[in-house]
């Protein structure tokens, strides 16, 4: 069984040391400085991103586990040719700096 997910705002400061976060506009900031913002997502070790996104196809874990053909849906490409492999921690976290890039 995997460990429960910890909200980004509750990640211990020592785990954020040396990590940076990037906005879609390209601006970067130390993760420790933007962690309290409501628009920050931790992507490091143990994060949902690291554990639930496939490193092969970038689909979520559930695309590999559910039989979509049973509910009259085409199988996801993820089901076609490989098993789920966690992507692991990302190099940078994500945040929104307040710029106009909200898509």
- Domain assignment present for residue 2? The answer is no
- Domain assignment present for residue 101? The answer is no
- Domain assignment present for residue 68? The answer is yes
- Looking at residue 69, its pLDDT comes to 61
Burial class (CB in 10 A: 0-12, 13-18, 19+), 95: buried
What the block records as the tokens of 86 is 């966690």
Question: Could you give the 3-state DSSP secondary structure of residue 21?
Answer: strand
- Looking at residue 1, its pLDDT comes to 42
pLDDT tens-place string over residues 40-66: 899 999 898 999 999 988 888 887 776
Q: In the predicted model, what is the mean pLDDT of residues 69-95?
A: 76
- Domain assignment present for residue 62? The answer is yes
Domain coverage including residue 79: 9-95
What the block records as the tokens of 4 is 């429960």
How many structural domains are present in the chain? Answer: 1
- Domain assignment present for residue 100? The answer is no
- Domain assignment present for residue 3? The answer is no
- Beta-carbon-side half-sphere exposure of residue 78 (alpha carbons within 13 Å): 21
The model's pTM = 0.75
- Domain assignment present for residue 60? The answer is yes
Q: Specify which residues 53 forms β-bridges with.
A: 60
């Amino acid at each position: 069984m995997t460990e429960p997910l910890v909200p980004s705002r509750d990640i211990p400061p020592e785990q954020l040391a040396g990590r940076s976060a990037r906005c879609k506009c390209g601006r970067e900031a130390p993760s420790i400085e933007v962690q309290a913002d409501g628009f920050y997502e931790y992507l490091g070790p143990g994060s949902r991103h690291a554990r639930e996104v496939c490193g092969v196809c970038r689909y979520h874990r559930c695309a590999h586990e559910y039989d979509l053909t049973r509910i009259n849906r085409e199988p996801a490409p993820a089901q076609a040719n490989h098993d789920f492999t966690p992507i692991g921690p990302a190099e940078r976290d994500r945040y929104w700096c307040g710029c106009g890039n909200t898509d």
